[in-house]
Structure 1
Amino acid sequence: MIARLVGFLVEKNSDSAIIDVNGVGYLVQLSGRALDYFSEIEGEITVHIETQIREDSITLFGFASYLERDWFRLLTSVQGVGGKAALAILTALTCDAISVAISSGDKTMICRANGIGPKIAQRIINELKEKPAAIALFSSAKGDHLAVEDISQPAASAHHAGNFVADAVSALLNLGFKPAEAQRVVQLASEELGDQATLDSLVRLALRLSSKH
């Protein structure tokens, strides 16, 4: 069972890459975020692997962090969510965002992933919201220095910042906030955090600000 590869990225496609390890090329399926991260590294990379063995195939799924791999395992434990669907979710959302979406019951966020409809999104929330392993991951995203959301540039553009604001407002609406109040506190949080804003930090600060008014 392959658990980790240390080598060089020699070829990449939209959802996979070939990792050369001592002259042997391994085809690895990757999330878009992990692929972008590895593409920026010049030299040797470390890819955490989840090996899926079936009667007619062996598939390697690769991750930039243990956290991303653990979320993949949890997502694929949900009925109807296969490896490709889990990677689609990890491409559309950071680990922080997945935590927020599940804990707040926001299926709209999960539906941003290609091929994920409302029924599957709701099933993911229902099955993982109270699952001990998932609850443990809700607080782990900031503790893993290899987490994709931590090694990427936070809110590097107005487009990304706008996405974080929209996601944060959506999360607050699902927590029972009125639209005007959700918009107000998220905007205040966004102005205070500036370019350092992430979805998790926006939601947390917005909740603190709302309690002061």
Structure 2
Amino acid sequence: MIGRLRGTLVEKNSPEILIECAGVGYEVTMPMTSIYALPELEQQATIYTHFVVREDAQLLYGFTNKVERKLFRLLIKVNGVGPKLALAVLSNMSADQFVVCVRHDDIAAIVKIPGVGKKTAERLLIEMRDRLKDWQAQQPVQLVSKDGVIPEQLSADLSQETTFISDNKTDAINALLSLGYKQVQADKAVKSVYNRGMSSEDIIRDALKSMV
């Protein structure tokens, strides 16, 4: 089991990153909330990981703290919820914000997450309620409103330079597609928030906020 990686952040291609540890490069898939919290390229980073072995693949999922990983592991135990949907949950709200949703039966906020329909949201609320009853919030959490509006996800400064040439708009659209959004939704959201000079992380963050 690979539980943690510490090394140099080489690439960000949301929702995947490449981190080099002792000369070995690991491809890790992460929720957007964790990617936002990463340092700049070529800086040292520590990532807590969850290793999945399938017949056709070996996959690493990463998180910048143990709390997000803990919720990810609880989510994938829910019937019908796999890693992709669990990442979508954590890309749209923090672990503590999700817990607030569950404790207040806020189905309106949960169905805003791509790939989560009403039945899946109801299943999440029911199955996660007991599993989260002893959850201790890591920081003050703003309550998700009953109209489904998710608070601002992170206040970290996301502006950063990249050392490789890429089409940031295309990267942002591809990241949204990988999170479960439809092509039309992704195109419209990116177009509505894009300004010249924005990094792909900035575009993704603002596009996600525009769709809640």
Identity of aligned residues (%): 34
**Residues 84-121 of structure 1: per-residue CA shift (max 9 Å, x gap):** 10010001011121011101111121122221111111
Q: State yes or no: 1:136 paired with 2:113.
A: no
Aligned to 1:117: 117
Q: Distance between the aligned counterparts of 2:11 and 2:93, measured in 1?
A: 24
Q: Take 2:80 and 2:146, find their aligned partners in 1: how far apart are those partners? A: 29
2:65 and 2:53 map into 1 onto residues whose CA distance is: 21
The answer to whether the 8 A contact 2:19-2:25 is kept is yes
Summarize the alignment of residues 68-147 of structure 1 with structure 2, pairs less than 5 Å apart. Answer: 68-131=68-131, 134-137=132-135, 139-142=136-139
Deviation, structure 1 residue 14: 2.0
The total of aligned residue pairs comes to 149
Which residue of the partner structure matches residue 168 of structure 1?
Answer: 145
Which residue identity does 2:114 align to in structure 1? N
Structure whose CA Rg is larger: 1
**d(CA) in 2 for partners of 1:108, 1:92:** 13
**Residues of 2 paired with 1:115 and 1:101: CA distance?**
17
- For residues 168-212 of structure 1, what are the alpha-carbon distances to aligned partners after superposition, in whole Å with 9 as ceiling and x for unaligned? 3558xxxxxxxxxxxxxxxxxxxxxxx9xxxxxxxxxxxxxxxxx
- Which deviations, in whole Å up to 9, do the C-alpha atoms of 1:47-77 show, x marking residues without a partner? 0000011111111000011100000011111
**Moved >3 Å (runs of 4+):** 39-42, 168-171
Which is helix-richer, 1 or 2?
1
Which stretches in structure 1 are left out of the alignment for 5+ residues? Answer: 143-149, 155-163, 172-194, 196-213
Return the TM-score normalized by structure 2: 0.65
Q: Structure 2: any 5+ residue segments left out of the alignment?
A: 149-154, 156-212
C-alpha distance in structure 1 between counterparts of 2:85 and 2:138, whole Å:
21
TM-score w.r.t. the length of structure 1 is 0.64
Alignment of 1:27-106 (within 5 A): 27-40=27-40, 43-106=43-106
